[in-house]
Amino acid sequence: MLNSNSCIICEDSISDPVCRSCYLKQINILLNDFKIHPIANEIIMRKIKNKFPIETLNNTECILCLKENVTMCRYCFSVILRDILRELNFSEDLIENFGFNPLDEERFLERESRAKIEIIF
């Protein structure tokens, strides 16, 4: 059951509430800092925007901009970002530089499997 501060993907509580727009701004800054080619940058940003949900029932505001409501936790966001970077054949070193933590993947997979079990029953 979702509460007013739940990630729409894993349904866990969001401890560091950051909105979609602020995540996208941060990723764009990182891509520029890593001097990613502008075309690759645009492809990455488009893929992230397409996979990043906009709608939410959360009423928790972003701690950075205080304007938008938060949709997902940083763990789920980092797994989505990691998958996009792998899909585009980025090196594991570069993916680590984005701050991806393998423990995030374990948490994400565990939550996802829990959610699938709940749907079945």
Q: Is residue 6 part of a domain?
A: no
The secondary structure of residue 72, as a DSSP letter, is S
Range of the domain at 31: 20-120
Q: Is residue 12 part of a domain?
A: no
Using the structure block, give the residue that is written with the tokens 């409501």.
69
Q: What share of the chain is helix, strand, coil (3-state, %, to 5)?
A: 55, 5, 40
Q: Is residue 4 part of a domain?
A: no
> Which has the closest alpha carbon to 110: 12, 4, 18?
12
**Residue 43, amino acid:** I
| pTM exceeding the 0.85 threshold for the entire prediction | no
pLDDT for position 121 = 47
Give the count of domains, the chain: 1
Counting as low any pLDDT under 70, the low residues of the chain are 1-4, 56-57, 98-121
Q: Is residue 5 part of a domain?
A: no
